[in-house]
Amino acid sequence: MSSTLRFQIVGEAFKKRPVEVPKRKERPSEFFAKYVFNRQKMQQYLPSDVYKKMCDVIDGGAPLDMATADAVAEGMKKWAMELGATHCTHWFQPLTEGTAEKHDGFVEHDGKGGMIEEFTGKQLVQQEPDASSFPSGGIRSTFEARGYSAWDPTSPVFVFGDTLMIPTIFISYTGEALDYKAPLKKSLKAVDKAATAVARYFYPDVKKVVSNLGWEQEYFLVDEGLYAARPDLLMTGRTLLGHDSAKNQQMDDHYFGSIPMRVAAFMKDLEIKSLELGIPCKTRHNEVAPNQFELAPIFEETNLAVDHNMLIMSLMKKVARKHGFRCLLHEKPFAGINGSGKHNNWSLSTDTGILLHGPGKTPLDNLRFVTFIVESLMAVYRHNGLLKASIISATNVHRLGAAEAPPAIVSSFLGKEISNLLEHLETSTDDELISLSGKQTLSLDIPQIPELTQDNTDRNRTSPFAFTGNRFEFRAVGSQQNCAASMIVLNTAMAEALTNFKTRVDALISEGLKPMKAILRIVREDIRTCKPIRFDGNGYSEAWKQEAARRGLDVETSAPIILDQYLKPETVEMFGKMNVLTKAELEARNEIKLDTYIKKIQIEARIFGDICMNHIIPVATRYQTQLIDNVHKMQQILPAETADRLNSTNLSLIKQMGEHNTFIIENVERLIEARRVANRIKDGRERAIAYHDTVAPLIEEIRYHVDQLELIVDDELWPLPKYREMLFIH
Ligand code: ADP
Ligand code: MG
């Protein structure tokens, strides 16, 4: 690209006028879930006995027979066709991180040379997409290409464009999970079972415990013309070079700032479409970095929330294009300014309330609150390394550990009030805490638990797992990741912690201890055990890294080694006991994550080398030649002494450029060689380590020199849109 072209693109981007903000006459409550086959539509489109059966399937996990499936399919088809649907697809979440779909038309031969619209129960319930090109981590050798996708009736089908989308799990011919949804659902079942059993100590009527997830999604918007002119953004989702803009986020003037018109139009459009698809969008605002924004819905049941997050990520990209933007979901699109994350707000609730909600009306409520807080900490303590492994990736590493996002150490912040409370429980005896008052009613000397609102859980932004009133907020998740990866770990770990808790409490009860006392005793034991995970200080500090290592927390920073967590004995044991993932499935996940890690860095290294050699070196050399030319001409027209004096600055620039050019050229060679060496390594883990240790750091090293050249070379010659041009255009 010539610079004139760059100026044209920048000019175009600036010129774009705000598009009209979309409006709808109806209120959100009127068009919410218009395209979702929810209970209300089921009731309307299904015979009443079929509707009842479906409720049993959804609520009670009853099996779905073919006759019911056929009847449901018939009603669905009618509804979907009224909305203009012509196709259907199973929509699943393979381990590539995105979603997958293969559309089939509703058409069938009518046997008389014509066509009829057909959609059967069989098509709804199960399909066999060719799975050979999805990552399987060696579970399914390529000659056995069959994988099954099977309908998940707990996540309602919806119409998107002209297609009826059916959320499904995706498993191999031999039954192993090849996706995120299958193990997620198993983890939700495990935590339901374990938490219900524990909740019954307090409320004997509890029937079911649900895991909730409220995600907050951060993203960047970049003008599409500028995006197209950056091969690095196009290929990798992030800029591999680019000098800091003089002004970036230092004025704190973007966060919560007034939303630019063109962005507001995009947001409105996105919200309307999301609401129509049943995603309960609520919050929108400017984020810290220029051109960075956030969207958050109201929390939902975790399985549905995950589907909605996957859907909204794809929707964001589509809607952005309509508005002349590209939506960047990469965790670190621009160096030097904040990257994007996804905060996963997580809690457990029964049909009557949230189990992490305090204070209660009765001493029992308070003990319930403490129990669930402490067992959440036990879960995170025991599997802190694995939780980190669930969110580590070649892209999220750029954000973690930098002073903008949670550190690469998982710890939990509780705030002063709750920390004091746990300390009190830890140091007092049962008899001090429990007294029988009046008519033999039990009272518990748990000091006043304050009404916890977001305002008085003093918020510690540096904590990766912070308690925020009635939930924990896991902040280390990457913006483009599938929330399920960390939700599988968290819910399974919680199921394990609660199961262990109950076993120990029951043992004490069977020895004759009163339940309340037994619970208190185990809670006290666990408060001591999980103490190392509690940290209310500054997670960004150097001192914390050392302190965390002393406490035995996982402080590993190399992504390939962090991924070993999937294979550790305690991981295999937990997932096995809770019936969520087998050892073979864990090995597959580990292998796929390593492979994805390698490929991402490989692509970055390739495109970066190309840009250096084809874009940067040619213009740097051209500008250097212009300066050399100038030096010669100065010598011709000026007396030698004057020419020498006046040429000295140009000579210095010429020399600097020579040094940078040489460094870049030599090290791009080294980069290619490092890749070659790494690629020859057979073992996946060792290969990933080689990419981590040799390839990735070289990209950063070379980048420094490219960014220095950007400061020297004539702006008119510079071929790629600069940070200041990409970040301030709305
Ligand atoms: P923040 O102040 O952290 O940016 P937001 O209001 O943007 O908060 O988002 C908070 C998210 O947490 C929302 O999705 C909200 O619905 C969700 N949330 C609130 N309470 C719970 C809960 N008990 N369990 C899970 N998520 C919750
Ligand atoms: Mg938050």
Residue 724: which pLDDT band, with cuts at 50, 70 and 90? very high
Indicate the average pLDDT of the chain.
91
Ligand nearest to the CA of 285: 1
What percent of the chain clears pLDDT 90, i.e. is strictly above it? 75
Least Cα distance to 306 among 588, 87, 2, 92 occurs for 92
Worst-scoring range by mean pLDDT, 196-200, 210-214, 489-493, 541-545? 541-545
Q: Is the pLDDT of residue 451 over 50?
A: yes
Cβ of 287 closer than 6 Å to ligand 1, yes or no, is: no
- Domain extents for the chain? 32-178, 188-439+450-581, 597-726
**Block residue for tokens 């990457």:** 478
pLDDT, average across residues 550-571: 96
The predicted structure's pLDDT at residue 635: 96
For 530-542, what is each residue's pLDDT tens digit?
999 999 888 888 8
**pLDDT-derived band of residue 551, with 50, 70 and 90 as boundaries?**
very high
User: Distance, CA 666 to ligand 1 centroid (Å)?
Assistant: 50
Position 142 scores a pLDDT of: 47
Q: Whose CA is nearest to atom 11 of ligand 1?
A: 214
Weakest mean pLDDT among 101-110, 430-439, 719-728: 430-439
Render pLDDT for 296-340 as a digit per residue (tens, 0 to 9): 999 999 999 999 999 999 999 999 999 999 999 999 999 999 999
Answer with the residue of higher pLDDT: 460 or 224.
224
Question: Would you state the structure tokens that stand for residue 94, as one six-digit string?
Answer: 């393979």
Q: Is 471 in the pocket of ligand 1 (CB under 6 A)?
A: yes
| Per-residue model confidence as pLDDT tens digits over 659-697 | 999 999 999 999 999 999 999 999 999 999 999 999 999
Ligand 1 atom nearest the C-alpha of 470 is 23
CA torsion sign for 23, 29, 31, 36 is positive
Q: Is 283 in the pocket of ligand 1 (CB under 6 A)?
A: yes
Query: What CATH number matches the domain at 32-178, 3.30.70.20, 3.90.1200.10, 3.10.20.70, 3.20.10.10?
Result: 3.10.20.70
Tell me, in angstroms, the distance from the centre of ligand 2 to residue 621's CA. 48
How far is ligand 2, taken at its centre, from the CA of residue 480, in Å?
16
CA 139 remoteness from chain centre: 25
Rg of the chain's alpha carbons, rounded to an integer?
A: 29
Q: What is the pLDDT of residue 405?
A: 66
Contacts of 260 (CB under 8 A, 6+ apart): 730
Q: What is the pLDDT of residues 28-60, one digit of tens each?
A: 999 999 999 999 999 999 999 999 999 999 988
pLDDT for the residue 402: 67
Compute, in angstroms, the gap from residue 486 CA to the centroid of ligand 2.
Answer: 16
Are the CB atoms for 465 and 552 separated by under 8 Å? no
Cα–ligand 2 centroid distance for 294 (angstroms): 10
The reply to whether 597-726 shares the fold of 32-178 is no
Name which CATH class applies to 597-726.
Answer: mainly alpha
Q: Ligand 2 centre from 466 Cα, in Å? A: 9
Ligand 1 proximity of 296 Cβ (cutoff 6 Å): yes
Ligand approaching nearest to the C-alpha of 358: 1
CA distance 345 to 464: 11
User: What is the distance between the alpha carbons of residues 573 and 376, in angstroms, rounded to a whole number?
Assistant: 18
Verify whether ligand 1 is closer than 6 Å to residue 470 (CB atom).
yes
Residue 299 Cβ inside 6 Å of ligand 1? The answer reads yes
pLDDT at position 436 is 47
Which residues share a beta bridge with 170? 149
For residue 74, the SS3 value is helix
| pLDDT surpassing 80 at residue 430 | no
User: What CA–CA distance (Å, rounded) separates 431 from 424?
Assistant: 13
Closest-approaching ligand to the CA atom of 309: 1
CATH class, range 188-439+450-581 = alpha beta
SS3 586: helix
Q: Which residues surround ligand 2, an ion (CB under 5 A)?
A: 216, 343
pLDDT at res. 299: 97
Range 422-428 average pLDDT = 88
Q: What is the structure's pLDDT at 437?
A: 47
Which pairing describes strands 163-172 and 87-92: parallel, antiparallel, or unpaired?
parallel
Global pTM reads 0.95
**Could you tell me how far CA 654 lies from the centroid of its own chain?**
46
